[in-house]
Amino acid sequence: MNLCTCTIVLKNKNSITFDNVEQSLGLIDQHGISNISNIKIEASDGKKTHSYNNLSIEDSIESLMSL
């Protein structure tokens, strides 16, 4: 699977979208898990785009790291 977009929603309601795993993980590291309310990941398997936004923050980080 390849990352299409990763949208990180901060507790202050700001949202930032990246198309790069390293940038996404960097922002998560910069703000800390406690300052993030949601992470939405869209990834492609080459045929279809899959959306993941009901994962815990920890599971979202694991998913990003596996892309």
Give the C-alpha separation, 41 to 64, whole Å: 8
Give the C-alpha separation, 44 to 4, whole Å: 6
Tens-place pLDDT, residues 23-41: 999 999 999 999 999 999 9
Query: Which of 64, 22, 20 shows the shortest CA–CA distance to 39?
Result: 64
Burial classification of residue 11, based on how many CB atoms lie within 10 Å of its CB (0-12 exposed, 13-18 middle, 19 or more buried): exposed
Does the pTM exceed 0.85? Answer: yes
Around Cβ 19, how many Cβ atoms within 10 Å?
12
Tens-place pLDDT, residues 5-17: 999 999 999 999 9
DSSP letter assigned to residue 16: E
Predicted pLDDT at 36: 96
